Amino acid sequence: MNYIIPSLVLASAALGLSACSGEGQTPATETAAVADNPYGMQVEPLADGVYAIVSPARGFPDPQNLGWNSNTAFVVTGDGVLMFDTGSSEGIGEALRDQIRSVTDQPVRWVINSHVHGDHWLGNSAFMADEPEQIIASDITIALMREQGEEWLSRFYNMTDGAIGNFELVPARDAVTEPGSYQFADTQAYILRSERAHAPGDIALWLPEQRVLLASDVVYTERGPATFDSNVQGWIAMLEEMLALEPEVVLPGHGPVGGIEAVRNMRDYFQTLWDIVEEGYNAGMVDHEIAEQAREQMADFEAIYPGMSEGLGESVSHIYLQVEAALF
């Protein structure tokens, strides 16, 4: 699917992240079970005050996973919760809120959406009861949310046979126009931003004190990456930036938690694939011929990304056009 980036880019909203009163709200020392948990969600501690909720799904939203196929994280600060991605629906968002309450009674003060794909932000409406001070995404992503939000809702509704339900769309409103450091109460963070990597306007969150990288869909584990909306050279560049941080814990957008090797594997995957396509293009081969060659030369990656070969032909076609465009 092709996306059109509006020529008028949204102005950056002020990201004043000063603390507000939150007395009496302290993190719980242990996570408590949530009684009504139709998705089977579990909280996974990543570091001090940092938690992940990892989806077991390895495919797209469908009736079996009720639309829940992407990972989420939250950070318990000294004065409120920072939420990173909110899932594919209001119902999923509400289930995520229940999981947060099993750890802390603090409200969600900040929501970050990593990119425009609906499985990472359609759940925003579930957090409006907390009246978050900011709902943050890149300026590019915010423009696309407003343009394409109804399409994402309709698409996921059909893919899940209505399991995600109907609900109000709440796009992000506080724009990140460039990477930089931010302070969320007592928690230091750095927001990485790309013009286009996995998707237009990707952002990721680096927590330097905890050495945790919330990478979203710039990193996948145990699943081949989707390239329909990507710029692979931009993707490789963002992965290189992530590697330079030397993270100890990496939460991908899809798949289980990993370490720096998850970033390295993704970089190696795309660099290898780009080189194969570029070499084939220069030799006068067409994309389906290159795809067959890529399956043979990249067979070792199948152990890292099970089922990778199923989408490899599509990725070769996308990269083929990007290699061609790079020559002009």
pLDDT given for residue 29 in this prediction: 37
Section 1-27 average pLDDT: 31
pLDDT given for residue 3 in this prediction: 28
User: Is the pLDDT score of 27 beyond 50?
Assistant: no
User: Is the pLDDT score of 94 beyond 90?
Assistant: yes
3-state secondary structure 2-43: CCCCCCCCCCCCCCCCCCCCCCCCCECCCCCCCCCCCCCCCE
Residue percentage of the chain with pLDDT more than 70: 89
The whole-angstrom distance between residue 1's C-alpha and the CA centroid of its chain comes to 18
Beta carbons within 8 Å of 282's beta carbon, 6+ residues apart: none
28-42, 44-58, 164-178: least confidently modelled range: 28-42
Please give the helix or strand (H or E) that residue 82 lies within, else none. Answer: strand 80-84
pLDDT given for residue 328 in this prediction: 83
Please give the helix or strand (H or E) that residue 218 lies within, else none. Answer: strand 212-220
pLDDT given for residue 17 in this prediction: 32
Sign of torsion over alpha carbons 199, 97, 81, 212? negative
pLDDT given for residue 16 in this prediction: 33
C-alpha span between 251 and 295 (Å, rounded): 27
SS3 state of residue 101: helix
User: Is the pLDDT score of 60 beyond 60?
Assistant: yes
pLDDT tens for residues 227-248?
999 999 999 999 999 999 999 9
Section 140-165 average pLDDT: 98
pLDDT given for residue 32 in this prediction: 52
Nearest Cα residue to 264 out of 278, 245, 279, 280? 245
| Average of per-residue pLDDT values in the chain | 90
pLDDT given for residue 36 in this prediction: 74
Q: Which residues of 189-220 are buried (b: 16+ CB within 10 A; e: fewer)?
A: bebbbbebbbbbbbbbbbbeebbbbbbbbbbb
CB 4 within 8 A of CB 144: no
pLDDT given for residue 207 in this prediction: 98
